[in-house]
Amino acid sequence: MIVILQLDVLKNALNIYSRSLFSNNEIYIGFALRLENHNYLNIFTYNNLKKFYFKQSEDIVFKIPEKIFDSFFEKKESNFRISYSNEFSFLINDQLNEFYLKLYGLPSKEKNYGFLYIISKEKFSFDEEKKNIFRKFISVFENNVDTIYFDKYSKYSINAFVKNYLTILRNHSRIIYEHSLRVSDLSSIIASLLNLDEESIFKLQIASLIHDIGYIWVSQKAISEYIKNPEFDNNLIGIHLNRLEEMFLGNVLMTPYVNIAINHHERLDGKGYFGKSNLSIEDNILIISNYIDEQIVLTENEDITFVIKDIEKKAGKIFNKDVVNVAAEAIKIYYTEFHTESFSDLILKSKTLNLFYEAPGGEVIEFSGIIEKKFGDIIHINSKTFDEISKDSILKLKITTKDFPEYAKARVILKTPYGYVLKIIETKISKKSKLKVFWGFDFYIGFKNDITPLLKEKLTPVMKNILKSKFKRAKCKIFGAEGIIFTINSENDVFKVGDVVIFHITEFGESLYIPATLIEKKTGLHCNEYTSKFFELPERMQAAIYRLIFRRQASIRSIGGFHEE
């Protein structure tokens, strides 16, 4: 895409010119575009000393104090000493407590277009030779910045613009507002399944959000009657479409999205509201998404099988065949209710997922999401989104179940304004995790809530006695990497299935406190048998468990060998 190429031009120019201008000094160079008043959007910040860009500072909106703003634009080049600034300190990752800030406008642009900034520990200035180099550097920005400005500013403006209108729509009709959000989600899923690029998906999301915005000018009573009976007033279709067109008339930024939104009542056979037949793939996706949500939610027809058969029957006449083929799958992804009791036959403790993404450069992004829907191996989550994580990215998931955390890998099949749609591609299964050995030894078991606070204290003789009093003696039968099977005398048994416990095991020189959940119980005459499942453990403790298993296996082999001799 041209936008990325233009941004790369600026960054490459900075990499080249910074050597001549700043040598290896601890200096930070950045570029920001004006949004409104004194608000700016930071495009990038470059660490000249370490030669890399601060990812966390990109696309951050910040505000310049009015005093700096005014004096900067009066002089075209300004130098300020700053003790601390929330705005600029954040852009350089709080690397300096005190620094000099130097601002440069773009000479050939209007004063409110944007500026370069240079942050340094010591005050500096360019000699005549470096000034000439710097002028060439500035010219690279001036020649390439328009594309960046349009891309960054327009998307920021579009999102803010649409958000304001959606707020008005929500206050006017909650039903139409929520319908618009669902249509945006469904359109995005269908577009993703059709392998449309991110730019097309973004266009569809915006078009879907505004497609019914014209209902702001329709009374709530008329909307309610229309939803109950679509034949009530066919004029409402024309009214809300005309209002949509009038609202954005002359708005160049919104034109590409309005051109899609305006066609959501068209048909493939040219018999729609405006009689158009030359429809784009985006048009066809929005048309079917709007129809599907109307049929499933607005008309309260919860039988998705009926709706799937309905759109398949109309494929090639009203709806595009290719779109219908993937829409059936999208319906199953989006409208199948999440089953709150289980995940892969495990009892869920929480609908919250912990997610991890390892970027190509080695950076790990960790965040959480809420499971909204689940169908087979497809999970729809609400979460914060990241530029680094897009379609086809691979994530690691931690799903908290009642018994123990389940780990999996998933591929992003769709990025939405509200989170991600993920397809599980692998669950955590390893040969090591299945290791186990028959092994009878004594150990101690206690309730985790009783033991954990004591382990945080200094283990004086008195504390050791208190700790010992919280444990019960048990005997291991099978020791494995994922948990153990053990027995405990009936008179000492104060436990039940579902309890969270800690085992204290001292074997082969190891002294381990291992958290686990009791997942099964067999009652005996004199003793009871429990099956337990370890928590997901730190690598250090997991390695210690593997060592115990390997040493036990080695000791069995050596004893067997001695016996044979």
Tens digit of each residue's pLDDT (9 = 90 or more) over 148-185: 766 666 666 677 778 778 888 888 888 898 889 889 88
Check which CATH number belongs to the domain holding 139 and give it: 3.30.450.40
* Residue 248 resides in a domain: yes
* Residue 445 resides in a domain: yes
Confidence class for position 246, pLDDT limits 50, 70, 90: confident
**Tokens standing for 537?**
């453990």
Domain count, the chain: 4
Helix axes 198-210 and 128-172, enclosed angle (nearest 10): 40
Mean pLDDT of the 23-31 span: 87
CA proximity to 335, closest of 369, 364, 360, 311: 311
* Residue 159 resides in a domain: no
Note whether 243 and 321 are same-domain residues: yes
* Residue 227 resides in a domain: yes
| Higher per-residue pLDDT: 111 or 174 | 174
Note whether 187 and 104 are same-domain residues: no
Check which CATH number belongs to the domain holding 285 and give it: 1.10.3210.10
Note whether 413 and 446 are same-domain residues: no
483 close to 520: Cβ distance less than 8 angstroms: no
Note whether 122 and 239 are same-domain residues: no
State the alpha helices, DSSP H only, in 173-213.
174-193, 198-210
> Whole-structure pTM over 0.85, yes or no?
no
Note whether 417 and 501 are same-domain residues: no
Confidence class for position 343, pLDDT limits 50, 70, 90: very low
Distance of alpha carbon 494 from alpha carbon 476, whole angstroms: 17
Distance of alpha carbon 204 from alpha carbon 375, whole angstroms: 24
* Three-class HEC string of 33-48: EEEECCEEEEEEEEEC
289 close to 320: Cβ distance less than 8 angstroms: no
Question: 428, 461, 482: which is the final residue of a domain?
Answer: 428
Note whether 279 and 318 are same-domain residues: yes
Note whether 493 and 517 are same-domain residues: yes
Provide the 8-state DSSP code for 352. E
Note whether 478 and 514 are same-domain residues: yes
| Higher per-residue pLDDT: 436 or 350 | 436
Mean pLDDT of the 465-490 span: 90
Question: 276, 309, 336: which is the final residue of a domain?
Answer: 336
Note whether 424 and 443 are same-domain residues: no
Note whether 330 and 252 are same-domain residues: yes
Per-residue confidence (pLDDT) for residue 348, from 0 to 100:
42
85 close to 97: Cβ distance less than 8 angstroms: no
Residue numbers of the domain that contains 401: 352-428
Q: Is the pLDDT of residue 556 over 60?
A: no
260 close to 283: Cβ distance less than 8 angstroms: yes
Percent pLDDT > 90 in the chain is: 15
**Would you say the C-alpha torsion 532, 536, 538, 543 has a positive or negative sign?**
positive
511 close to 544: Cβ distance less than 8 angstroms: no
User: Which residues, in sequence order, are CB contacts of 32 under 8 Å at separation 6+?
Assistant: 40, 41, 42, 43, 62, 114, 115, 117
* Intra-chain end-to-end CA distance of the chain, in Å: 74
Note whether 186 and 328 are same-domain residues: yes
Note whether 472 and 543 are same-domain residues: yes
* Residue 167 resides in a domain: no
CA proximity to 205, closest of 419, 389, 392: 419
* Residue 94 resides in a domain: yes
Provide the 8-state DSSP code for 276. -
Check which CATH number belongs to the domain holding 533 and give it: 2.40.10.220
* Residue 346 resides in a domain: no
* Residue 158 resides in a domain: no
Distance of alpha carbon 410 from alpha carbon 395, whole angstroms: 5
Beta bridge partners of 4: none
Q: Which of 448-462, 490-504, 520-534 has the lowest mean pLDDT?
A: 448-462
Give, in degrees to the nearest 5, the angle at Cα 500 between 499 and 505. 120
Check which CATH number belongs to the domain holding 387 and give it: 2.30.110.70
State the alpha helices, DSSP H only, in 59-103.
66-75, 86-91
